[in-house]
Amino acid sequence: MTSDSARFGHRWLPILLVLPLMILILLFFYAPVIQAFYWSFFLEQPFGGGSQFVGFDNFSRVLADPEFWRATWRTLIFMVTASALAVVLPLVLAIAADRQIRLSPVARNVLVWPKGVAGASIGVVFAFIFNPFVGILAPLNNWFPGLWAPGLDGVDAFITLIVAHVWSGIPFNFVILLAGLRAVPHTLYQAAALDGAGPWRRIRDLQLPLIAPQLFLTLVLEFTESITSVFALIDTITKGGPGGATTLLVYKIYADGFRGYDLSGASTQTVMLMIFVVLLAGCQFAFLGRRINYER
Amino acid sequence: MIENARSINIAASVILAIGIVYILGPLYLALTTASHSYQETLQNGLTWLPGDDLADNIRRLWVETRIPQQMANSLIVALGNAALTCVLSFLTAYALVWFRIRWASVVFALILATIMLPLDIRVITTYQVAANILSPVNALLDLTGLNSLISRFFGAPVQLELSILDTHIGLIVPLVAHGTGTFLFRQFFLTLPRDLFKAARMDGAGPLRFIWDILLPLSRTSVAALFVLTFLSGWTQYLWPLVGASTPEMQTAVVGLARLMPDNDGRMPDFPLMMAGAVIVSLIPLLMIALLQRFLVRGLVLTEK
Amino acid sequence: MNAIDPIHAEAQGIRLSGVTKSYDAKAVTIPPMDIEMRAGEFTVILGPSGCGKSTLLQMIAGLERVTGGTISIGGREVQDLEPKERGLAMVFQNYALYPHMTVAQNIGYSLRVAGIQRAERDARVKAVARMLGLADFLHRKPGQLSGGQRQRVAIGRAIIREPGVLLFDEPLSNLDAQLRQDMRLELAELHHRIGATSIFVTHDQVEAMTLADRILILNKGRVEQFDTPKTIYSRPASIFVAKFIGAPPMNILPVSGDGRALRFGNGKVFAASPLKGEFLLGIRPESIVLDRHGPIRAQLRHREDLGSHMILTAAFDLVDLRIALPFGSAEPQQSDLHLHFPRECLHLFDVEGRRIEADFHLEYAN
C-alpha cells in the first residue's frame, strides 16, 4: 500500500515538473502519430497545396500496390531471421561468458563496443568489407566469378544487412541475457549438480528456462529494433537495392515521403507499420509474457 | 565451478573468441584500411596489415570533408540529448513517484507508450511537426472553431509558423521525446526506502531540498548510466539527423560519413578515407564506452526492468 | 544530571479528539479515537501488524493526513500542519539515514534545512554525538557503522531539534536480541534525561512493558486498553489484551452459569456463582498452581524446560492448558495433574471478550 504518507501533497509543483517532458512528448510523439493517422485519410499535396478527405482511398491504393507487399514481405523475413540471430548469438555468447574462464572478462568488455558505433558507421565499414571487388570475399570471386555479388544478387545483399544488424545488436542483448544468467542463484546449479545434471544438461534444464523472461524481452525489443534500425544499414550498404531486393518498409516509407513527396502514401504506410509494431508487442506480451514469469 | 567441466570450458572459450573476432574484426579492418592509400586499396583490396598512410587519410578527412564540423554537431546533439533527457526525465519521474497525484498513472502510460514506436517509424510526420512546431496549435485552433471566429473578425485565420529544422535544437528535442529515462528513474526511485522520504520531511526538507540534498546524490549512478546511454544514442542517430538537417553544415558526423559514399556505383569509393572517417567518428563514443563501461552496462540492464 | 545536559526539550501533551482515518470511502482504518498523552509521558502503542499503530503514529507526525477529528500538541491544533511545523521528531524502523551523508551531516540535516548557522550547528551536533557516544564516528558514513551505532545516529538526528514530542516507529526491531536489550535501557535513560513526550510503536510486548508509562493497545484500529503496564497485565480489559500481553498467553476456558454454579464445557462444576449465561474464564499460566488436592484435573501432554521456568501443556476440557512453573518447583511425576486456580488470579470475560469487572462471587466447593 502506498499511502499518502510517503508523498508530497503539492498541487502545482508536480504539474510543473512533468510539463517540459510532456510537452516534448505531445509535440514530437503524439502529434506526429496523430498526424500520420490524419494524413492517411486525406490526399495531401506536397508543399502545402491543400488536402482533400478521401476516406480509405489511401489504404486501398497502398494495399493494391505490389511493391508495398514485397516490402512488407521482405520486412517480415528480415525481422524473423535477423531477430532470431540477434538473440541466439548473444545468448550463446552470454552462456559462454557466464563461465569462469579467462576470456570471459575480455568478452564482456569487447562485446558492448558496438553500442558506440552508429549503424550507419558500421554500415559503411561492412559495405567495404563485403565489397565484391576489394572486400574480404573478393578472393572467392576470383575462383568462382559472380559467387559473391551483393550489388547484383538480392540474397547476398540481404545477408550483408543481417550480418551488420546482428553486429549492432549484440551489446544490448548480450548484457541483458548475461545479467539474467548471473541473477540465477548459484545454489541452484549446485542443487542440479547434486541431482546428477552435468554442465551441458544444466544449460538446457536450468539456464534457458530461468532466463526465459530476458529471452522473451530481448526478442520483443529486437523485433521492433530490426524493423526500424535497419534503415541506417540499408541507406549505407545497399540503398534498397539491388533492384529493390532490400527495400524494407522503413526505407520505402522514407523514399516515398522524402524522395517521392507522396505524403499520404508514406503516412498510410507509417500508420500500418505502427499498428503492426504495436500489435506485435501486444500479442507477444499477451500470449508469451504470461507464461514466462517466475517468482525469484 | 562445481565440477571439472573441461569440454564445456573449451567450447565456451572458442565461442567467445569467435564473438570477439566478429566484433573486433570489422573495426580492425577499418583501421588497417584507413592506414593505406587509395591506390594500394584498389590494387590489393582489403589488407590485414597496417600501412603508414593513416595520418594522411586523417589529414584529408580534416581538410577535404566537413567531418570536423560535423563532429562538433554530433557532440552538441549527443550532449544536448543526454543532458535534456537526464534533467527532464529525472524531474518527471520525481513528480510521478514522490507526489500524491491522481493523474500519475495516466501520464506514466502516455510516456511509456513512446517506447513502443521509435522515432524512425514516425519520421515522416515528425519531420512535418519539426517544420512547424506550432502546427498542432493551428490544428487546435481550426478544430475548436476558434480560427473561423478569428477570421471573421480579423479577415484571416491564425497560421502560426516556427520551424526548428536545420537547428541543433531541432536535431535534439525529437530524441528527448522518449520515455526510457523516465522509466529508468521511476524504477530506481521505487527501490529507495520510503522512510528516507519521511525522514527528510520530518527534518523539514521541502520538495526542492529533497531533490537537491537527498535524491540527486543518491541517483548519481543512475544519472550517469542514463547520460552515457543517451549520449551514445544521440551520437549514433542516423535517420532523424539525415532529414532534420538539410545542409552539410548542420549534419551530424554519422550522416556526413555516410554522405562520403558516392551515389553512383561507377567508381570505386575512396575506402581508406571512409574507413578513417568511420574510425574517427566512432572514437568518442568508443572512448566513452571504454571509460564508463560500468555505467553503460548498468544503464542497459536498468532499461530492461 | 539534567542541568548539564545540552539537549533538553519542553515536553508537550498530545490530545487526539475524534481522529479517524480511512484510505478510501469504504474501508475505515481507524474509527473515531479519543486519547490524551500527558506532557513528558512515555506512551507505547502496541498491537499486531496491521492494527493501525503505524498509521496512528504517522498521523501524529504529519506524514499521514487525518480523515476527520483534531490532533493538538501542546494545546495547538496541528492536524493541518506540515510535519516540520509540529515540533516533533521521529526515529524510523530502518533508521532511514541518508546513505550519502556523514554521521554529522545526518544528525545536523534538520538544522541545516532550518537555516541555522554552521557554527551553532556544529556545536549542537557535537553535543548530541557526545551524549550518544558517537563523537568518534562523526565523519563516517552510515554504511560504515554497526546496527547499534546507526540506531544512535537516528536517535541523534531526532533529538537535536529538542522536539517537544519524540516519535519512535519500531526502532529496535532490526537489532539482534542483545543489542535490543541494551538499546532499550539507553532509550529509557534518554527519555528521563530529555524529558520529551515520547510515543513508541512496537509489536514487542517486552519493549512495551519495560519502556512505557502507559501502553495503548490497538486492535483493528480500535483502542483495546490504554493504561499502565501493571494494570494491563493484572486487569486486561479484553481477551485480546489478555492474550497479547504475557508469554505464554493467558488460558481462556469457556464456562456457563445457571445462577448457582459455573460449569466447564464438560459439565464439571468449577465454582458456585450467581452468574447466568456464557462466559470466558481466563487464568495466566504462571497463576496456575500444581496442588495434589486441587479440584481441577488435566492430562499432561508435553513439557518444555526453558531453564528459568518450565511450561507444561495439559489437556483439559477439549482445550490445552498452559502452566508455567518457576525454576526449582516440584515437577509432576505422573501425567495426571491436579490443579488449583487461585481465585484472585481469575479473569472473567463476556462472550464478546470484554472484561467483567463486577465481583462474581465465586465459591469453591471444596
* pLDDT exceeds cutoff 60 at B2: no
Which among B199, B209, B218 has the least Cβ separation from residue C92?
B199
- At B164, give phi and psi (nearest 5°): -115, 15
Nearest to A288 by CA among A239, A199, A216: A216
Report the range out of A146-155, A254-263, B10-19, C312-321 with the highest average pLDDT: B10-19
More confident residue, C267 or B251: B251
Q: Is B217 on the interface with C (CB under 8 A)?
A: yes
| Residue C58 near chain B (CB below 8 Å) | yes
Are both C200 and C254 inside the same structural domain?
no
Domain shared by C239 and C269, yes or no: no
When pLDDT is cut at 50, 70 and 90, the band that residue A6 belongs to is low
Nearest Cα to C269, choosing from C255, C281, C248?
C255
CB count, 10 Å around CB of C207? 24
Enter the C-alpha cell of residue A63: 494495399
What CATH number has the domain bearing residue C67?
3.40.50.300
Number of domains in chain B: 2
| CA dist list (Å): C175 to A249, C46, C56, C147, C150 | 62, 18, 23, 7, 10
Q: Where among B17, B42, B64 does a domain terminate? A: B64
Give the sign of the dihedral formed by CA A295, CA A296, CA B5, CA B11: positive
**Interface-testing mutation among B188, B196, B203, B209, with chain C (most C C-beta atoms within 10 A):** B203
Name the pLDDT band for C216 (thresholds 50, 70, 90).
Answer: very high
Q: For residue C358, is it within any domain? A: no
C320-351 core/surface letters (b: 16 or more CB in 10 A; e: else): ebbbbbeeeeeebeeeebebbbeeeebbbbee
pLDDT of A2 over the 70 cut? no
Q: Is residue B36 part of a domain?
A: yes
Banded pLDDT at C150 (limits 50, 70, 90): very high
User: How distant, in Å, are the alpha carbons of B108, C206, C247, C297 from that of C243?
Assistant: 47, 14, 8, 23
Asked if A29 and B286 come within 8 Å (Cβ–Cβ), the reply is: no
Which residues does chain B have within 8 Å of residue C82's beta carbon, measured at their own beta carbons?
A: 201
Task: For residues C209 and C284, state if they share a domain.
Answer: no
User: Is residue B69 predicted with pLDDT exceeding 70?
Assistant: yes
3-class DSSP assignment, residue A191: helix
Residues of C in contact with B199 (CB under 8 A): 90, 92, 96-98, 157
Asked if residue C217 and residue C237 are part of one domain, the reply reads yes
Q: What is the mean pLDDT of residues C95-100?
A: 90
My answer on whether C235 and C251 are in the same domain is no
Query: What tens digit of pLDDT does each residue of A93-121 get?
Result: 999 998 888 888 899 889 999 998 998 89
Whether B216 has its CB under 8 Å from any CB of chain C: the answer is: no
Domains and CATH numbers, chain A: 66-289 (1.10.3720.10)
- pLDDT band at C262, cuts 50/70/90? confident
Question: Domain check: are C270 and C188 in the same one?
Answer: no
Determine, yes or no, domain membership for B259.
Answer: yes
Q: For residue C9, is pLDDT > 70?
A: no
Return the residue in A2, A3, A8 with the most chain C beta carbons within 10 A, the one to mutate for interface testing: A3
Our CA-based measurement puts residue B206 at a distance from the nearest CA of chain C, in whole angstroms, of 9
Subunits touching B (CB < 8 Å, at least 3 pairs)?
A: A, C
Nearest to B204 among C61, C98, C110 (CB): C110
Same domain membership, residue B30 and residue B74: no
Minimum CA–CA partner of C60 in chain A? A5
pTM exceeding the 0.90 threshold for the entire prediction:
no
- C43-62 as b/e: b if 16+ CB within 10 A: bbbbbeeebbbbbbbbbbbb
Distance CA A158, CA A212 (A): 29
pLDDT score recorded for residue B293 = 83
pLDDT of B265 > 70? The answer is no
Please indicate, yes or no, if residue C359 is contained in any of the structural domains. no
Same domain, B271 and B198: yes
Domain's final residue, options C243, C263, C287: C243
Q: Tell me, yes or no, whether B73 and B58 share the same domain.
A: no
Regarding whether C200 and C270 lie in a shared domain, the answer is no
Residues in chain B: 305
C-alpha cell at C132: 550518544
Residue C119: per-residue pLDDT: 94
| Domain annotation covers residue B144 | no
Q: Are residues B46 and B79 in the same domain?
A: no
Statement to judge: residues B57 and B96 lie in one domain? no
Q: Answer yes or no: do C311 and C239 share one domain.
A: no
Please check whether residues B291 and B208 belong to one and the same domain: yes
Average pLDDT over residues B24-33: 90
Instruction: With cut-offs at 50, 70 and 90, classify the pLDDT of residue C4.
Output: very low
Instruction: Give the span between the Cα atoms of B263 and A7, in whole angstroms.
Output: 58
pLDDT of residue C197: 92
> Which sign, positive or negative, has the C-alpha torsion C218, C219, C225, C228?
negative
Give the model's confidence band at A49: pLDDT under 50 very low, under 70 low, under 90 confident, else very high. Answer: low
**Does residue B126 lie in a domain region?**
no
- What is the 8-class DSSP label of residue C195? -
* CATH number of domain containing C258: 2.40.50.140
Most confident of A15-24, A193-202, B98-107: A15-24
**Position B304 confidence tier, pLDDT thresholds 50, 70, 90:** low
CB C217 within 8 A of CB C62: no
Asked if B198's CB is within 8 angstroms of C92's CB, the reply is yes
Whether C268 is covered by a domain: the verdict is yes
Strand partners, C73: C14, C76
**Average per-residue pLDDT for chain A:** 84
In 3-state terms chain B splits into helix, strand, coil percentages (rounded to 5) of 75, 0, 25
Is C63's CB within 8 Å of A1's CB? Answer: no
B259 sits in which H/E element: helix B253-259
Give the span between the Cα atoms of B96 and B109, in whole angstroms.
11
* Residues C142 and C9 placed together within one structural domain of the fold: yes
The answer, yes or no, to whether the previous bond of C248 is cis (omega within 30 of 0) is yes
pLDDT band, residue B206 (cuts 50/70/90): confident
Report the candidate in A82, A78, A80, A84 with the shortest Cα–Cα distance to residue A249.
Answer: A78
Q: What is the mean pLDDT of chain C?
A: 87
pLDDT for residue C299 is more than 70: yes
10 Å Cβ neighbour count for A201? 13
- The verdict on whether omega for the bond into residue A242 sits within 30 degrees of 0, i.e. cis, is yes
d(CA C109, CA B135): 49
Of B172, B106, B236, B128, the residue nearest A270 (C-alpha): B128
* Chain B: closest CA distance from residue C164 (Å): 14
Q: Do B265 and B180 share a structural domain?
A: yes
Predicted confidence at residue A130, as pLDDT, reads: 87
Q: What confidence tier does C333 reach under pLDDT thresholds 50, 70, 90? A: confident
Which residue of C109, C125, C160, C201 to mutate against B (max B Cβ within 10 Å)?
A: C109
Distance of CA C125 to the CA centre of its chain: 31
The residue among B159 and C277 whose pLDDT is bigger is: C277
Q: How far is A147 from chain B (nearest CA, A)?
A: 17
For residue B199, give the nearest of C58, C62, C96 by CB distance.
C96
Q: How far is C114 from chain B (nearest CA, A)?
A: 7
Dihedral angle sign, alpha carbons of residues B62, B67, B70, B71: negative
- A128 and B33 in contact by Cβ < 8 A? yes
Q: How far apart are CA A134 and CA C194, in angstroms?
A: 86
Which CATH number belongs to the domain containing residue B89 in this structure? 1.10.3720.10
Most B-contacting residue of A47, A93, A117 (CB-CB within 10 A), to test interface: A117
Which residues 2-31 on chain B approach chain A with CB closer than 8 angstroms?
A: 2-3, 5, 8-9, 11-13, 15-17, 19-20, 22-24, 26-27, 29-30
Q: What contacts 24+ positions apart, CB below 8 Å, involve A140-147?
A: none
Structural domain includes residue B213: yes
C98 touches chain B (CB under 8 A): yes
- Residue B36's nearest CA partner among B15, B52, B55 is B52
List chains touching A (3+ CB pairs under 8 A).
B, C
Chain A partners within 8 Å of C201 (Cβ): none
Q: State the helix-helix crossing angle for B271-291 and B54-64, rounded to 10 degrees.
A: 100
Whether the Cβ atoms of residue A175 and residue B300 lie closer than 8 Å to each other: yes
Q: Do B8 and B95 fall within a single domain?
A: no
- Asked whether residue B122 is assigned to any structural domain, the reply reads no
Whether B126 has its CB under 8 Å from any CB of chain A: the answer is: yes
Taking Cα atoms as reference points, which of C155, C164, C153, C150 lies closest to residue C60?
C164
The per-residue pLDDT for C292 is: 84
Which residues of chain C from 55 to 114 reach within 8 Å of chain A, CB to CB?
Answer: 55, 58, 63-65
Type and span of the H or E element at B72: helix B67-98
Determine the distance in angstroms separating the CA of A176 from the nearest CA of chain C, rounded to an integer: 28
Burial A4-36 (b: 16+ CB within 10 A, else e): ebbbbebeebbeebbebbbebbebbbbbbbebb
Does C230 lie in the same domain as C127?
Answer: yes
Domain limits for position B200: 66-101+165-304
The pLDDT confidence band at residue A294, using thresholds 50, 70 and 90, is very low
Q: Does C29 touch chain A (CB under 8 A)?
A: no
User: What range defines the domain where residue C33 resides?
Assistant: 2-243
Q: What residue has cell string 480511512?
A: C22
Minimal CA separation from A53 to chain B, in Å: 15
In a domain, C230, yes or no: yes
Three-class DSSP category at A2: coil
Average pLDDT over chain B, rounded to an integer: 87
Q: Give the count of domains, chain C.
A: 2
Nearest Cα residue to B257 out of C239, A169, A121: A121
- On whether both B50 and B192 belong to a single domain, the answer is no
Mutation target for A interface from C30, C56, C65: give the one with most A CBs within 10 A.
C65
User: What proportion of chain C, given as a percentage, has pLDDT over 70?
Assistant: 94
When pLDDT is cut at 50, 70 and 90, the band that residue C101 belongs to is very high
CB atoms within 10 A of CB B163: 13
- Predicted confidence at residue B264, as pLDDT, reads 60
Task: Report the side by side order of strands in the sheet with C28-37.
Answer: C28-37, C14-22, C68-73, C76-77
User: CA distances (Å), C362 to each of C192, C237, C256, C278, C359, in order?
Assistant: 44, 20, 13, 15, 8
Name the least confident of A248-252, C2-6, C72-76. Answer: C2-6
The pLDDT-based confidence of A1 (bands split at 50, 70, 90) is: very low
Q: CA nearest C199: which of C42, C4, C308? A: C42
Minimal CA–CA distance to A91: which of A2, A166, A30? Answer: A166
Cβ within 8 Å of residue A176, ≥6 positions away:
A214, A217, A218, B300, B301, B304
Of C62, C94, C100, the CB nearest to B195: C94
Is the CB of residue C90 less than 8 Å away from at least one CB of chain B? Answer: yes
Q: Show the DSSP H helices in A113-153 as ranges.
A: 119-129, 138-143
Out of B13, B46, B64, a domain closes at B64
Residue B189 lies in a domain: yes
Minimum mean pLDDT among A200-209, B15-24, B36-45, B276-285: which range? B36-45
Is the Cβ of A1 closer than 8 Å to some Cβ of chain C? yes
What are the grid coordinates assigned to B224, written together? Answer: 550517469
pLDDT-derived band at C1, boundaries 50, 70, 90: very low
Handedness of CA A155, A158, A164, A169 (dihedral sign): negative
B261 interface with C at CB cutoff 8 Å: no
Question: Which pLDDT does position C137 carry in this prediction?
Answer: 93
Asked if the structure places residue B84 within a domain, the reply is yes
Are residue C217 and residue C269 in the same domain, yes or no?
no
Average pLDDT over residues C226-253: 92
Q: Using the beta-carbon criterion (under 8 Å), do B204 and C83 form an inter-chain contact?
A: yes
User: How far is it, in rounded angstroms, from Cα A81 to Cα A77?
Assistant: 6
Same domain? C9 vs C158 = yes
Q: Does B204 touch chain C (CB under 8 A)?
A: yes
State how beta strands C269-272 and C14-22 pair: unpaired
> Which residues on A lie below 8 Å from C64 (Cβ)?
3-5
CB contact under 8 A, B286 and A127: no
Q: Report which of residues B47 and B94 the model is more confident about.
A: B94
pLDDT at C361: 64
Chain A residue closest to C83 (CA)?
A: A5
> Closest Cα of chain B to A198: distance in Å?
9
CB contact under 8 A, B19 and A9: no
Spell out which residues of chain A touch residue C23, defining contact as CB-CB under 8 Å.
Answer: 1, 3
Residues B210 and B79 in one domain: yes
Identify which of B24, B125, B261 has the shortest CB distance to residue A236: B261
Residues B230 and B300 in one domain: yes
Interface test with B, best of C92, C128, C153 (most B CBs within 10 A): C92
Q: Are residues B219 and B272 in the same domain?
A: yes
Burial of A159 (0-12, 13-18, 19+ CB in 10 A): middle
| Residue C57 CB partners (closer than 8 Å, separation 6+) | C45, C90, C167, C169, C199, C201
